[in-house]
Structure 1
Amino acid sequence: MSEPEADDRERLVRNLNELLQELRVAQAGVQILFAFLLGAAFTEPFRDASPFQRALHLVTVMLATGATALLTAPAAWHRLLFRHGRREQIVRAANRFALAGLALLAAAMTGAVALVADVVLSGWWAVALGGVSGTLYAFLWFVWPSRLRHDDQR
């Protein structure tokens, strides 16, 4: 193996390992949220939930489901393809899955905040607190890093 090929291989191994480590952090968050959402549906107070709260709960469960699928897909891809010389494709797909999974996780967390706010405070507070939560995730997870990347490209 030539030196540039070895460097590319090492870079891909490092990229994949870093990505899988990052996903472990996100997976813990989505698992906790998912458990909360699943458990909430089987509680006594949930029986009294309004149609809006029930719909918001179901949408949030589906967002968390999508986030879980996307954030765990890179591990499945790696396990199925790791001895087939497909590391570059795995890293490329895993990066896309991770970004989409984080977007769905942010939306699910926003939905969970809005749901809890609607139960505790009701009305426009739920929308306001959900909006603040969603804005915070969007800014910290996507807007700010994108601006830094854009500045680096100049």
Structure 2
Amino acid sequence: MADTGDGHEGRGRHETEDERADRMWSELIQEVRVAQTGVQILFGFLLTVAFTPHYQRLGVVDHTIYIVTVVLGATATGALIGPVSFHRIVAGRRIKPQSVRWASRLTFAGLVLLLATMASAVLLVLRVATHGAYVPYVVAGVAVWYLACWYGLPLWARTGHAKGD
């Protein structure tokens, strides 16, 4: 792309660093809202499981899977709520571009933890519901699907089709 004379050569938009940070922050927060809702509902549900009569009848392996799932859910929730707290604490400090980068990293970590939480929850539910030897394969398939939807397709689009297809 040619130099436009405004110092923004190579960019598709004509915006300052602060304008870009504002736009990216708004986009990130919209994305986080979707993920936060899902992780909070899942985490809330997980917290109630230990208080059900059926929980007491679970074996040691299923109790362990449950505990791991709750911890993963808690960490995913923390990471996905983190950008909001981060923004609130650093707002007005004139470091929005850096804030966007850190919030983006927290969001990415939260999504990875959410993927692990969901796979672990599916493992627990399918183990309890079916007791089938095929359960790990189903969970692996679900995890691969999440990886494909959440990371594979976006990375494919980013690397192979980002230049005006």
Query: Smaller-chain TM-score range?
Result: over 0.9
- Please give the secondary structure, in 2, of the residue aligned with 1:124: coil
Deviation at 1:147, TM superposition (A): 1.5
| 1:133 aligned residue (134, 138, 142) | 142
Matched to 2:69, the amino acid is: T
Of the structure 1 ranges 128-137 and 98-107, higher mean CA displacement relative to structure 2 is found in 128-137
Matched to 1:43, the amino acid is: T
Q: Which residue of 2 aligns with 1:81?
A: 90
Pick the structure with more helix per residue: 1
Q: 1:115, 1:126 within 8 Å by CA — same for their partners in 2?
A: no
Deviation at 1:100, TM superposition (A): 1.0
User: RMSD value over aligned CA atoms?
Assistant: 1.8
| 1:65-121 deviation line (CA, Å, top 9, x unaligned) | 111111111101100001000101110011111111101101100111111000100
| 1:12 aligned residue (21, 27, 32) | 21
Matched to 2:143, the amino acid is: G
| 1:31-88 deviation line (CA, Å, top 9, x unaligned) | 1110111101110000000111101111111111111111111101100001000101
| 1:107-148 deviation line (CA, Å, top 9, x unaligned) | 100111111000100132321221121111111001111121
Confirm or deny that 1:63 pairs with 2:44. no
Q: Which residue of 1 aligns with 2:101?
A: 92
% identical equivalent positions: 36
Aligned length, in residue pairs = 152
Q: Which residue of 1 aligns with 2:156?
A: 147
Structure 1 runs of 4+ with >4 Å offset = 3-6
- Please give the secondary structure, in 1, of the residue aligned with 2:151: helix
Q: Which residue of 1 aligns with 2:37?
A: 28
Structure 1 unaligned regions, length at least 5: none
Q: 2:83, 2:103 within 8 Å by CA — same for their partners in 1?
A: yes
Q: 2:28, 2:104 within 8 Å by CA — same for their partners in 1?
A: yes
Q: Which residue of 1 aligns with 2:10?
A: none
Of the structure 1 ranges 123-132 and 24-33, higher mean CA displacement relative to structure 2 is found in 123-132
Larger Rg over CA atoms:
2
Q: Which residue of 1 aligns with 2:3?
A: none
Structure 2 unaligned regions, length at least 5: 1-5, 8-13
Q: Which residue of 2 aligns with 1:46?
A: 55
Of the structure 1 ranges 107-116 and 127-136, higher mean CA displacement relative to structure 2 is found in 127-136
TM-score (norm 1): 0.92
